A and B are shown apart, each in its own frame.
Chain A
């Protein structure tokens, strides 16, 4: 049974960098899947941040592309998100997720982690 677990600071100061890691258990990085990040501001809808393929190729939401890095360490079965220059608008529950490669749907979600942006 695949499990995804987000970890990282729950509080980030404005203008600093948000860093989160997702640890994958019960699954493997292979060509069948993308691994990605999705966020949800309190009381609002889902927003796609970006995805990484097992090859290391990355794809991002155009609205966030200039501030986002996604990387993966397959040996540790982890992938990570960095979002620079955060503002209050970046406060959200951040989910890591697995997407089925050919059809792009999320078949597994992490439980989500709330990141607050405040000084």
Chain B
């Protein structure tokens, strides 16, 4: 079955750029979305269709997807961005696949 792999944790200093990767075989052929989840809350969509930001999501969140890797980039990371982030791949054969999640620590 198809899998996507995320690093368990990423650390970043406030104001710096955080990059969270999501890797899978020919992931660039699939649509990737990213979700932010804070403790006790439902996940929230931050990027869809590889690069698109829903309304209300700050411009500092951006996404890319090519080859075997998708990346969520948070520029000028703020303390409130500290959360778990999940990538999700979609295609019409395997449908929904989630990565294992990455805990972003802002320190």
Chain A bound to chain B: yes
The reply on A62 being an interface residue by CB < 8 A is: yes
Interface size class of B (residues with CB under 8 A): 20 to 34
> Do A106 and B35 touch across chains, with their CB atoms under 8 A apart?
yes
Q: Which of B35, B54, B90, B101 contacts A104 (CB 8 A)?
A: B90
Binds A, one of B12-20, B21-29, B92-100: B92-100
The reply on A16 being an interface residue by CB < 8 A is: no
Give Cα A105 to B1, complex, Å: 19
Q: How many residues of A contact B (CB 8 A)?
A: 23
> Do B95 and A107 touch across chains, with their CB atoms under 8 A apart?
no
Binds B, one of A25-33, A66-74, A77-85, A95-103: A95-103
The reply on B64 being an interface residue by CB < 8 A is: no
The reply on A118 being an interface residue by CB < 8 A is: no
Whole-angstrom distance from the CB of A102 to the nearest CB of chain B? 9
> Do B45 and A107 touch across chains, with their CB atoms under 8 A apart?
yes
8 Å CB interface, A38-58 against B: 38, 45-48, 51
Q: Given the interface contacts A45-B100, A110-B42, does A62 sit within 8 Å of B1 by beta carbon?
A: yes
> Do A100 and B98 touch across chains, with their CB atoms under 8 A apart?
no
The reply on B88 being an interface residue by CB < 8 A is: yes
Contacts of B33 in A (CB 8 A): 103-106
Q: Which residues of A contact B (CB under 8 A)?
A: 36, 38, 45-48, 51, 59, 61-63, 95, 99-100, 103-107, 109-112
